[in-house]
Structure 1
């Protein structure tokens, strides 16, 4: 059950700055390396990690290596994050990978690190990249001149936390002359457990819900990439990606307590109910991309074109039940039932064209454009049944809403990159985007049946880099971006946690703007200082409104409600300072990645009305209740990832990783401090790799958010996702591991695909 209560808390809380759970260790033989190159350096618009010159590259998968790359980490062993960024997009050889998150993780875990030349971390992407908000880019550059042949990988893993889960994958790469084929098939099953404590209310009304959420999942997916070299200058490639998830019998089981006090503070009543919800959901994601590339000269000038189609389907059926004590106090008597049928279908057609012209080695001009046409179809049906004291249906209500959203995006960019001298270089660019969207609803009130938005945005970009000398380097970047709402955020549906506690999506959410600045200093290509400032205008987030609901006609409800509403919530600033080191010690027996820093958040938002219904919230005396967050906070962050080689033969490795983040103010309230200690042990034997990972050993990675409003409202959420667990994995590599990889292509629909999640 994809319960989104803590989406804001987890993904917009600054935890991206904390960069938790980087639990990789190194395995397989590490050959003697003479470090004659700069392993970690700063270029004009990116950090470059020279894997070929690094002592930790040998014997790893690409995913393991990325987790050891400076500024990178993972929170869930599936997705990667860049310090100070909301999200990290994966590029290979300068092109975004056309895969969903699950398939991408499997691809990275099945690609040997020996095939990688370098890893580029682009913290502030230029105008040529289609990214949103403060997203960063990880570009993996593969080695060239690899021989023809076949190679493959098989991997099995088993994880035990509250429940047991298993995964398996098989991948194969083939290249012969002009033809390259890459394919992967992976799948698994797991139960995602959560335990919640939810408390909210006012001075006179207290609600508490405690219990468990269990979400079983079965997944299967894969990809097929075909690349054919038409001649010495041109290539044609076809990519197909598919992913399916089945999540049946997801359950919510909560015990609810409602306590009401009199005006003088004395107890009035205490009542109890139980929430028993069940959900069946399944989703499918299929995409295909056709790419054509032609090289125009020996300097690297080229023309690149993509055409893509994306189809996403999700079907969700939920049965939400409020059970009352009944005559036998057994909580088997229904009080209220809400049945929801929430399908979503997304179709997208996309195209991109990029032209890059190089003039010697000093000047590069890039120009290009993109077009996206998207249609989402959301035909939601709600049935509400009210029961009498004997459990008989007393009243039935129906609420149908067929919401269709059409969106057209036109974009164009121009960048100029110039190397003025061996020490000084710069890059200047801009992206211009036109967005036309229309949302229609067949049964809403007249003012809400047609929601039309048209806006144009000019997004400038600048970066400069100055190498003071061989030991000192300084750079500055500025970027402006948009953050469009995800398609699920626009679908005006409610996801019920309990009868009076639910999330509310919002078709009126508009795109937000983000302005990023970053100043970086690097010393000896091992020590670095990063100063970052991000300003979010009309930020998209989730905000709690609670109290007695007052409808636009003046009617006031009889029960205190809590709605987590997706909306544009004012402005926000994030400022951070971080120092770090990436270095090997004691003849490479110890490799360490260490970051320490502070982050300052400034929130400035207010919400008084539910934008989807016009409802306001009042206390028992009819006084308006609003939600305000204009609180600032400063947080201390530390992260260290260490790999210890345990034997002279270089086959045993121990990983010790730790993070800590101080408490900080987020949109939902004050997020308490978090930390996690992760350990891992790996053994390499010929083509086999055996690994044991212990995550969150101290069981301290549990989210708690608490908020108190001046009007007396409070809200508390404790979410335990059972992150402590052990994972055992076995990997076997076969074939010619020097096979040249299939050319990875950025799909024209990648940016749209990100908004389906």
Structure 2
């Protein structure tokens, strides 16, 4: 149920941080106590490279914590990682994409020790060889090379206190003997996610206000197991299994609704009250298996890489939504409506990739490859409505979606001189899909075919002017296919008159990205970015007045002098998932990453401006054909972004560290309206003691990271959302490292189904 609110109310988590991430060039906590004997942060032809091998921050930290402290990276919600100016960050390890879904990947990063990391590469504009969508960027984690056989591991325990208490524990192991390597991880945790909402919409004649809370308890269990065997000196075979389970039972959404309408006969406003009480039981399973073969074909580094994968994702969700007629104090009077929803989703994917990288002498590299994805989603939804004194309404919908994606790519990379290098490439993708439904009320759903081909070029160059100055430019074009939940034509009820509606007619959108970078002395940088989104996929609030019979306390219609029921005007709000025009985003960011005072202070400071041009309008619900007053977002906005992240070493032995981090994002126009300014102050302290690490983190100390969005339309309609996700909290963790720390790291393998996984969320 929490997902309904997040999407329905304002898509706050997604929109806010998809916008806020522009500040994430900003969000780069510093690495403590680095001994600068070489370039720590530098720009290569198509990526930024951050060398963290010598940093004591890695000791006792998780990989997720280390990533948050990398220039150009950030996490404002401690759940997702963002790259400056990008919608999403895909995680690669040793050049191979991690083979798991988004939620389990975050938990994996939070339970994996950071001591094994050599460097972090940030690819802001990925080349044609990468399977990415929209303006996604890539974070490539390069692991240290271990030298000897043996066993090592890491145990971690943490406790978090926000509005509620949560705890987690993890165990990671890594074993190598001769040609065989085995690595594994297991993680478990419990937490209760809490949110509060204020939702207002309407006009001078009618309006709704909903105020309430979400309480969502979660239990998680997951992990991975990797087997890697060296067949010959030049070939390896690997098998990877990932599994994740989430249980969220008795999740609740309680909203008190005030519905005001204007009675023209009485020339006065009439206010009625209801309580919406939603209860949800949900659980999800995610299992994937990947088989990888790698063959090094020559001494220059040429290689063939083949992957075959299977992914099974299952989510079972049951909701009980009750609407009670209430008095002005929120007391229930009677039950007015009950809606039961059974919302299962099953996704099966079979995938394969083939990549061949050929390296020639004189610094020339040619890469060619192909991929295939076959996905089937099965959504057998049941929707039953009960009203007092009325017949039960059954509205089942069995929606099945089949999709086939074929892709080819070619890239050529050449170092033309010691100063100049370039890369050019292209992808060609063929997508065929078919959605079928047994919904007789909407015959248009019964057979939805899509077929489109896309040619996606890429270009980049890098020029080292001298030892101190470096410039680079990149251009890419990408597609953004809708997530599988977005095209499942299900309605998620928030209140009786407010709900979200997914849309099977959503089509893929196109994105064109350009980026210019200037770097000085490997410490100061300027990034200019421009992104154009065509037919962008988002959520649009449509609202209109509807007429309802006025009821007495017994639920019976009140009759007028003419003997007919008195009708009142109420406001109906639908959040429709759809393609909503075009959008441009432009940003300029200045940053510095540097150490001071004999490395007692390491700081990342960023300041920038962002300019958004929105051009969208919608007046017809594409899922039903219902006509609404037009909703427009044809506005421009400029906003400022400031962020500073500092790590202070407190002793000579490099065992105590203090972190002080702050960000500010000015108000800006997004799809749903004007997003008000956001800010957060985070503090942390860490103690390293032999193989133990103790740390305490306090987030959003000033309790200022609260989302507010407001929108006023020319036709008089307005919409307001306030969402507090209780980000202020405290986390205490204890980490113990054991075993032979020179154990060679097992290869992390890219999965063939990875491009599909992000669309299950």
Sort the TM-score into its range (normalised by shorter chain). Answer: over 0.9
**2:475 counterpart (464, 475, 478):** 478
Cα deviation digits, residues 5-38 of structure 1 (max 9, x gap): 25644323411112399696868xx6x83x3311
- Moved segments of 4+, more than 6 Å: 23-27, 326-329
1:140 aligns with 2:108: no
Q: Partners in 1 of 2:450 and 2:697 — Cα distance?
A: 49
Aligned partner of 1:621 in structure 2 is none
Question: TM-score, normalization: structure 1?
Answer: 0.94
Does structure 1 retain, via aligned residues, the 8 Å contact 2:167–2:191?
Answer: yes
Within-5 A mapping of 1:554-703: 559-617=570-628, 625-703=629-707
Does structure 2 retain, via aligned residues, the 8 Å contact 1:20–1:74?
Answer: no
Q: Partners in 2 of 1:418 and 1:560 — Cα distance?
A: 61
Within-5 A mapping of 1:281-300: 281-300=282-301
Does structure 2 retain, via aligned residues, the 8 Å contact 1:23–1:693?
Answer: no
**2:23 counterpart (12, 18, 21):** 18
Cα deviation digits, residues 617-645 of structure 1 (max 9, x gap): 2xxxxxxx110000110010011111000
Q: Partners in 1 of 2:327 and 2:10 — Cα distance?
A: 35
What is the CA distance between 1:330 and its match in structure 2? 3.6
Over the aligned positions, Cα root-mean-square deviation in angstroms equals 2.0
Query: Given the superposition, is the C-alpha separation of residues 329 and 55 from structure 1 closer, same or farther in structure 2, using an over 3 Å criterion?
Result: closer
Q: Partners in 1 of 2:649 and 2:270 — Cα distance?
A: 63
Query: Given the superposition, is the C-alpha separation of residues 106 and 545 from structure 1 closer, same or farther in structure 2, using an over 3 Å criterion?
Result: closer
SS at match of 2:486: helix
What is the CA distance between 1:59 and its match in structure 2? 5.6
Aligned partner of 2:316 in structure 1 is 315
Q: Partners in 2 of 1:695 and 1:662 — Cα distance?
A: 20
SS at match of 2:53: helix
Q: Partners in 2 of 1:652 and 1:24 — Cα distance?
A: 16
Aligned partner of 2:158 in structure 1 is 157
Query: Given the superposition, is the C-alpha separation of residues 573 and 718 from structure 1 closer, same or farther in structure 2, using an over 3 Å criterion?
Result: same
Query: Given the superposition, is the C-alpha separation of residues 230 and 714 from structure 1 closer, same or farther in structure 2, using an over 3 Å criterion?
Result: same
SS at match of 1:395: coil
**2:533 counterpart (515, 536, 544):** 536
Aligned partner of 1:553 in structure 2 is none
**2:484 counterpart (487, 494, 498):** 487
1:438 aligns with 2:434: yes
What is the CA distance between 1:727 and its match in structure 2? 0.7
Within-5 A mapping of 1:133-282: 133-262=134-263, 266-282=267-283
SS at match of 2:65: helix
1:724 aligns with 2:728: yes
What is the CA distance between 1:147 and its match in structure 2? 1.7
Cα deviation digits, residues 42-75 of structure 1 (max 9, x gap): 1111111122355755564432322221101112
What is the CA distance between 1:263 and its match in structure 2? 5.8
Query: Given the superposition, is the C-alpha separation of residues 15 and 422 from structure 1 closer, same or farther in structure 2, using an over 3 Å criterion?
Result: same
- Number of residues paired by the alignment? 736
Does structure 2 retain, via aligned residues, the 8 Å contact 1:21–1:676?
Answer: no
Aligned partner of 1:743 in structure 2 is 747
Q: Partners in 1 of 2:197 and 2:75 — Cα distance?
A: 24
Does structure 2 retain, via aligned residues, the 8 Å contact 1:23–1:680?
Answer: no
What is the CA distance between 1:558 and its match in structure 2? 5.7
SS at match of 1:626: strand
State which drifts further: 66-75 or 105-114.
105-114
Aligned partner of 1:356 in structure 2 is 357
Q: Partners in 2 of 1:422 and 1:79 — Cα distance?
A: 38
SS at match of 2:67: helix
SS at match of 2:757: helix
Q: Partners in 1 of 2:308 and 2:676 — Cα distance?
A: 46
Q: Partners in 2 of 1:528 and 1:417 — Cα distance?
A: 24
What is the CA distance between 1:241 and its match in structure 2? 0.4
Within-5 A mapping of 1:323-338: 323-325=324-326, 330-338=331-339
Does structure 1 retain, via aligned residues, the 8 Å contact 2:613–2:637?
Answer: yes
SS at match of 1:146: coil
What is the CA distance between 1:142 and its match in structure 2? 1.6
What is the CA distance between 1:113 and its match in structure 2? 3.5
SS at match of 1:37: coil
State which drifts further: 297-306 or 3-12.
3-12
SS at match of 1:382: strand
What is the CA distance between 1:449 and its match in structure 2? 1.1
Aligned partner of 2:709 in structure 1 is 705
Q: Partners in 1 of 2:459 and 2:83 — Cα distance?
A: 20
Where do 5+ consecutive residues of structure 2 fail to align? Answer: 548-566
**2:542 counterpart (542, 545, 551):** 545
Aligned partner of 1:419 in structure 2 is 415
Aligned partner of 1:715 in structure 2 is 719
Aligned partner of 2:563 in structure 1 is none
Q: Partners in 1 of 2:91 and 2:654 — Cα distance?
A: 30
Where do 5+ consecutive residues of structure 1 fail to align? Answer: 388-392, 551-555, 618-624
What is the CA distance between 1:649 and its match in structure 2? 1.6
SS at match of 1:486: coil
Aligned partner of 2:519 in structure 1 is 522
Aligned partner of 2:557 in structure 1 is none
SS at match of 2:494: strand
Q: Partners in 1 of 2:739 and 2:517 — Cα distance?
A: 43
Aligned partner of 1:620 in structure 2 is none
What is the CA distance between 1:116 and its match in structure 2? 2.2
What is the CA distance between 1:361 and its match in structure 2? 4.7
Question: TM-score, normalization: structure 2?
Answer: 0.94
Does structure 1 retain, via aligned residues, the 8 Å contact 2:439–2:445?
Answer: no
What is the CA distance between 1:329 and its match in structure 2? 8.4
Query: Given the superposition, is the C-alpha separation of residues 679 and 441 from structure 1 closer, same or farther in structure 2, using an over 3 Å criterion?
Result: same
